Chains A and B, each alone.
Chain A
Amino acid sequence: MLRLALAALVATLAGCASTADRDPRDPLEPLNRRVYRFNDKVDQVIAQPVARTYRKAVPQEVRNGVRNFFGNIGDFFIGVNNFLQGKFEDGVGDWARVAFNTTIGLLGIFDIATDMGYEKHNEDFGQTFGWWGARPGPYLVLPLLGSSDLRDGVGTGLDMYSDPLGEVRPYHTQYALWGLRLTQTRADLLDASRILEEAALDKYVFQRDAYLQRRRSLVYDGHPPREKEPQNDDQKDSR
């Protein structure tokens, strides 16, 4: 949380000094780019090789089980967030997923709730703040965690604070579970990150814009209101 407070402070300072060329959504671009390069290095040196090995060594069925297991743990707070957003039917569905998958689905390893018609949702505290009307604020690249913004950064803090994995004892079991979840998540993103490499002229910009679009879509559950035409650099008066 200290990091976030610092980031917010820097954001305010940088806001005063930003140059005309800079994207108004990303006043901290120079700092963000530095963190991005660091994250990218860590990803190339550690996360990607581990994820690739994992995908090669572990059969698909087992990986599906791992994804489902952590997904089931996540569903509980996805439900909480749906309730906080007043989407009671979705929240009840999320908790029904937890109930069925934890029991009949053997601790969540099998996602039988989807087959029963309870679709998995994507919610977190950042989306809840957005639903309540919070603006994204400046775009941030968090160390190791990657793309975020001020609103989602605070949301991620809460997500992590409330994460049931944090309750697991002894600690080495907890760390092993975190490691496994990170590996599974990175393995699931291997294709997407390769496509990003291929598609982008400037990976940083491409990923940032995709993140901001994606989060906006998620806040509105896939139906964002039409945005005003993005301001163009040629139109001096636009904002």
Chain B
Amino acid sequence: MTRRILARALVAGAALGLVPAVSGFVPSARAQDLPPDQLVKGVTLEVVELIAKDKDIRAGNRTKLIELIDAKVLPHFNFAAMTALAMGQSWNKATPEQKKRLTEEFRTLLVRTYASALAAYSDQKFDFRPLRAKATDTDVTVQVRVLQPGAQPVPIDYSMEKTGAGWKVYDVMVGGVSLVANYRTEFNNVVRESGIDGLVKNLSTKNRSLAAAAAAPGK
């Protein structure tokens, strides 16, 4: 987490009167301490701004966009939790090695998907909804709406859990569609047909073909 996001989030927070003006504490504030809605807002705005300024990414350089997401967005996701939720019962039957492989492959797939979504929609305006949660809550939903001309706004809901290392996203709902729930049937189907190793193989084949397609000229 860079100082810039922090600064931006704090400025936004202060402007909204959310952060008490206790200047002595501000320099020591870390990402871990940010409330989840400010974290989402800060990261979203920073990433969108970085994309807007980057000619390569705007020209379609997917590798660079994925690097950006790796650096700025991924630290705030709990991929092990996402994979476990998407696997359902099968997760408990996986060996630690299988769990590690599954999480890595699922993470790669989600990052690529996320990159495509960002590339397509980063020009839109965002409406960051106020957080409706108690200060003591450890599991919250942060709501953002993507505003697009002539259409109903698309809600994006981040399910976030408080951990020792700050708030982490464990599911994203786009227009009411939970990403984790949407993979559950797919994962279960593959596991039933070819076991957990089959799912690992299936995911890595998918990732490799996507990487190859992205590297191919003219794509």
A residues in contact (CB < 8 Å) with B:
21, 23, 64, 67-68, 71, 111, 114, 119-122, 188, 191-192, 194-195, 198-202, 205-206, 209-210, 213-214, 216-218, 222, 224, 230, 232-235
Contacts and interface: CB of A to CB of B under 8 A. Distances in A.
Interface stretch (B94-102, B149-157, B161-169): B149-157
B188 A198 contact: no
A205 B186 CA distance: 7
Given A68-B149, A210-B182, A233 B188 contact: yes
Given A120-B150, A209-B185, A217-B177, A201 B206 contact: yes
B186 A206 contact: yes
Contact of A198 (B88, B113, B175, B178): B113
Given A194-B116, A198-B116, A210 B177 contact: yes
Interface in B103-121: 109, 112-113, 116-117, 120-121
Given A120-B150, A213-B177, A201 B120 contact: no
B203 interface: yes
Given A214-B177, A216-B176, A235-B89, A191 B120 contact: yes
B61 interface: no
Interface string B69-84: 0000000000000000
B8 interface: no
Contacts of B138: none
B210 to A, nearest CB: 6
A174 B192 CA distance: 49
Contacts of B89: 232-235
A210 B112 CA distance: 18
Given A217-B177, A218-B176, A234-B89, A209 B151 contact: no
A214 B150 contact: no
B149 A222 contact: no
B134 to A, nearest CB: 18
Nearest to A65: B150
Given A120-B150, A201-B186, A209 B181 contact: yes
Contacts of A114: 149-150
Nearest to B120: A191
A23 B188 CA distance: 11
Contacts of A200: 186
A217 B189 contact: no
B151 A195 contact: no
Nearest to B193: A21
B204 to A, nearest CB: 11
B182 A202 contact: no
Given A111-B150, A232-B89, 6 more contacts: A67-B149, A71-B151, A119-B152, A122-B152, A191-B120, A234-B90
B13 to A, nearest CB: 26
B190 interface: yes
B120 A67 contact: no
Nearest to B191: A233
